[in-house]
Structure 1
């Protein structure tokens, strides 16, 4: 199916060439095939420059963005890999609970993050857990679930390594069951 052959015939001078001649039509058809193939490769390349649709250059994109992240479950399908790449490209960074919660949820975990406070008179009451205020300032308790189940110790250590890469150096994250 040549889409360019009609355009090539329009480029011929109207009187000098017979547009229906056999040899000329064969030559124009061959050139139109090349133009059609080139257009198809350009259209395919347009899909490769977008991380949401890339397939052939997916491994190159992942290499540039440092994927797969150490510590997170490995993405197995192309759609999962594209989703993880897109998330990495759109990452703006941050130190908030919401930022880390969204990153872990994108990786397929159900997350609860607590920021315990020190015990203060007039604020807390009898029975509240006591933490040392200097240590508590930058301390998070993270509870992870995957498909409603507590994650294994191996997965927990992978997530801890991943969090250590992204958390602030002066903070402490405790993964609980």
Structure 2
């Protein structure tokens, strides 16, 4: 007898029905099992609503057209795939430094951004770098030399590595999201 079955038995009128009768008990247990199954399915649906749960990951990837074309053939852990889904959902647009820093953070990278401006009379000082031509449209993402993505309990899948290194997903996503007229450089090392 299940816990929910016992609760259903308590709802029977005490004099009219015997909850321990074989046929009635079987019917109550069947109803309890159906309610338990329905509750479990509702939990799965609720979990699938949030992409960071890792549930229904293949559906999220299908809807968001993931993996990105520049990452096809690159092995990614379940955690990295979840980060890609979250990043793509948060990255609906923007061209500011804070937008790109937050986008990188959603992928698991801590970055800074350096912009280059051409010298202007009255603003430039002796010793300032002279950036001309296309440097006005160039910006550099400064990231640590090594970014490690660790597996997380509850998200990692069977066969996933415990840690993964690499910056391919950072370069791919930021290159896709950068303004079309800009030139994006990546600098790795001291951030």
What corresponds to 1:61 in structure 2? 60
| Superposition CA RMSD, Å | 3.2
Question: Structure 1: which 4+ aligned runs deviate by more than 6 Å?
Answer: 155-158
Q: Is the 8 A contact 1:2 1:36 kept in 2?
A: no
Describe how 1:88-167 pairs up with structure 2 within 5 A: 88-132=88-132, 135-147=134-146, 161-167=172-178
Q: Deviations over 1:116-157 (max 9, x none)?
A: 111123322233222237x44432133333327xxxxxx778
Q: Is the 8 A contact 1:108 1:146 kept in 2?
A: no
Correspondence for 2:182 among 164, 171, 177: 171
Q: 5+ residue gaps in structure 1?
A: 149-154
- Aligned length, in residue pairs: 169
Measure the CA separation in 2 of the matches of 1:61 and 1:129. Answer: 46
Measure the CA separation in 1 of the matches of 2:58 and 2:170. Answer: 23
What corresponds to 1:18 in structure 2? 18
Measure the CA separation in 2 of the matches of 1:108 and 1:5. Answer: 46
Q: Secondary structure at the match of 1:52?
A: helix
Following superposition, the deviation at residue 61 of structure 1 comes to: 0.5
TM-score for both structures, normalised by structure 1: 0.73
What corresponds to 1:151 in structure 2? none
Bigger radius of gyration: 1
Measure the CA separation in 2 of the matches of 1:113 and 1:128. Answer: 18
Following superposition, the deviation at residue 68 of structure 1 comes to: 2.6
Measure the CA separation in 2 of the matches of 1:99 and 1:168. Answer: 12
Following superposition, the deviation at residue 170 of structure 1 comes to: 1.8
Q: 5+ residue gaps in structure 2?
A: 148-165
Q: Is the 8 A contact 2:142 2:187 kept in 1?
A: yes
Q: Deviations over 1:75-122 (max 9, x none)?
A: 41x333323322322334210122222323443444332111111233
Q: Secondary structure at the match of 1:175?
A: strand
